[in-house]
């Protein structure tokens, strides 16, 4: 029986890092070296390895991920059965969601990384890469969109979050939990969340979107400046279920009349409310002033979806339609 063909794209990150000359660890290993360090991969799949970037993940841009999405689509068109993206963990939740939005194919796309450098005792990179390739090669993983596989857990892109700065178990899906796990070398999918609409990868990178997290006493003085700074829209992480101080609500309404504004929550997880609280600055008040509810999406992910929805000059109606599936 022929082994599946899996495209492995390394973007850099801790999984590729070794000690540098100036101290600390820096990205050094490429995709081919990562694959060679895990001989068991040859028993699972025929690997095609490339290194489009060698960057720490804070330096990856949404434009980089749009390019990665296009390369995966080209790989699928050329006969690859699945794809694995390797990168730093700092931005995995954003990269996974971007790829989930941009790649419509049913073939598995899996993103992974490591919390420990390649030379660290107990480095988790090889085990994570092996689990990721096993998942990308599994027929059961088809039709689930982009998945994040770390520490043997399998997460759906729209739910996964980095929840710790140091632990190998840093990744969680607080709203629903992992949708599966790699056990005894076999991906076991326990939940199959439905695919949600995708957006074309050929439309370019997301438009610039401001992300504001609301804090006690914040008076909104930054809001008036946002349109003049080149932002196409804004995401506001409100308090609790989507609330801001009463005196800020009119300012957000004025901003929403000038650009699309999405209301998310600064809480770790949970949907933005739409019809419970009715006081000034509550979600009913803000949605009545033209803000768009983010639904279950975090502010980080809402920012990416809004930026993609606003490509080609699209406005409020298109932005609202993009968030409707996440309510």
Structure tokens that stand for 43 in this block: 């028993």
Task: List C-alpha distances in Å: 311 to 145, 204, 208, 262, 319.
Answer: 22, 7, 10, 16, 10
Identify whether 139 is part of a domain: yes
Q: Is 260 left (phi over 0), alpha (psi -120 to 50) or beta?
A: beta
Reference 75, options 113, 41, 45; nearest CA is 45
90 is in an annotated binding site: yes
Identify whether 194 is part of a domain: no
For the entire predicted model, the pTM comes to: 0.96
Question: pLDDT truncated to tens, each residue of the chain (327 aa)?
Answer: 689 999 999 999 999 998 888 889 888 899 999 999 999 999 999 999 999 999 999 999 999 999 999 999 999 999 999 999 999 999 999 999 999 999 999 999 999 999 999 888 999 999 999 999 999 999 999 999 999 999 999 999 999 999 999 999 999 999 999 999 999 999 999 999 999 999 999 989 999 999 999 999 999 999 999 999 999 999 999 999 999 999 999 999 999 999 999 999 999 999 999 999 999 999 999 999 999 999 999 999 999 999 999 998 778 999 999 999 999
Domain's final residue, options 189, 219, 244: 189
**Domain check: are 172 and 265 in the same one?**
no
**Domain check: are 50 and 158 in the same one?**
yes
**Domain check: are 140 and 38 in the same one?**
yes
Residues 212 and 112: their CA atoms lie apart, in Å, by 28
SS3 31: helix
Identify whether 214 is part of a domain: yes
**Domain check: are 153 and 259 in the same one?**
no
Residue with tokens 């349109």: 227
Domain's final residue, options 189, 215, 234: 189
Q: Which residues contact 23 (CB under 8 A, 6 or more apart)?
A: none
57 is in an annotated binding site: yes
**Domain check: are 267 and 307 in the same one?**
yes
**Domain check: are 128 and 70 in the same one?**
yes
Q: Which of 14, 91, 135, 146 is catalytic?
A: 14
Domain count, the chain: 2
Helix (H), strand (E) at residue 68: helix 62-77
Identify whether 96 is part of a domain: yes
DSSP character at residue 44? H
DSSP character at residue 3? P
SS3 140: helix
Domain's final residue, options 137, 160, 189: 189
CATH number for position 154:
3.40.50.1170
Identify whether 90 is part of a domain: yes
**Domain check: are 285 and 143 in the same one?**
no
Identify whether 158 is part of a domain: yes
The crossing angle, in degrees rounded to 10, of helices 316-323 and 299-309 is 130
Structure tokens that stand for 203 in this block: 């439309």
240 lies in which domain range?
207-326
- Is 135 noted as a catalytic residue in this protein? no
Starting at the edge strand found earlier in the chain, the sheet holding 261-265 runs 209-213, 233-238, 261-265, 292-293
Identify whether 219 is part of a domain: yes
**Domain check: are 119 and 56 in the same one?**
yes
CATH number for position 213:
3.40.50.40
**Domain check: are 142 and 278 in the same one?**
no
**Domain check: are 185 and 219 in the same one?**
no
The size of the chain, in residues, is 327
Give the count of beta carbons closer than 10 Å to the beta carbon of residue 41. 24
Residues 31 and 96: their CA atoms lie apart, in Å, by 18
Residues 101 and 200: their CA atoms lie apart, in Å, by 8
Q: Which residues contact 326 (CB under 8 A, 6 or more apart)?
A: 158, 196, 294, 295, 296, 297, 305
Rounded (5°) CA angle 96-104-271: 50
**Domain check: are 15 and 138 in the same one?**
yes
Residues 56 and 48: their CA atoms lie apart, in Å, by 22
Identify whether 135 is part of a domain: yes
**Domain check: are 167 and 258 in the same one?**
no
């Amino acid at each position: 029986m022929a082994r599946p063909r899996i495209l492995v794209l390394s973007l850099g990150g801790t999984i590729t890092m070794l000690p540098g000359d100036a101290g600390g660890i820096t990205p050094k290993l490429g995709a081919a070296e990562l694959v060679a360090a895990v001989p068991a991969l040859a028993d699972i799949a025929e690997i095609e390895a490339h290194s489009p970037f060698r960057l720490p993940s804070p330096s990856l841009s949404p434009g980089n991920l749009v390019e990665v999405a296009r390369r995966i689509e080209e790989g699928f068109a050329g006969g690859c059965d699945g794809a694995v993206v390797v990168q730093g963990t700092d931005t995995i939740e954003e990269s996974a969601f971007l790829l989930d939005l941009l790649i419509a194919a049913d073939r598995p796309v899996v993103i992974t990384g490591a919390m420990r450098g390649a030379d660290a005792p107990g480095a988790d990179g090889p085990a994570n890469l092996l689990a990721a390739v096993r998942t990308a090669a599994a027929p059961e993983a088809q039709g689930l969109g982009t998945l994040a596989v770390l520490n043997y857990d399998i997460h759906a892109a729209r739910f996964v979050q980095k929840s710790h700065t140091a632990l190998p178990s840093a990744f969680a899906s607080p709203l629903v939990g992992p949708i599966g796990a790699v056990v005894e070398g076999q991906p076991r999918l326990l939940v199959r969340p439905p695919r949600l609409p995708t957006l074309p990868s050929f439309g370019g990178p997301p438009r610039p979107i401001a992300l504001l997290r609301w804090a006690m006493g914040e008076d909104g003085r930054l809001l008036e400046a946002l349109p003049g700074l080149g932002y196409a829209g804004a995401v506001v992480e409100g308090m609790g279920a989507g609330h801001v101080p009463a005196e800020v609500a009119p300012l957000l309404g004025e901003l929403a009349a000038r650009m699309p504004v999405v209301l998310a929550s600064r809480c770790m997880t949970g949907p933005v409310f739409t019809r419970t609280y009715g006081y000034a600055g509550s979600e009913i008040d803000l949605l009545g002033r033209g803000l768009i509810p983010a639904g279950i999406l975090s502010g980080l992910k809402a920012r990416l979806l809004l930026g993609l929805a606003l490509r080609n000059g699209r406005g409020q109606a298109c932005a609202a339609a993009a968030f409707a599936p996440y309510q």
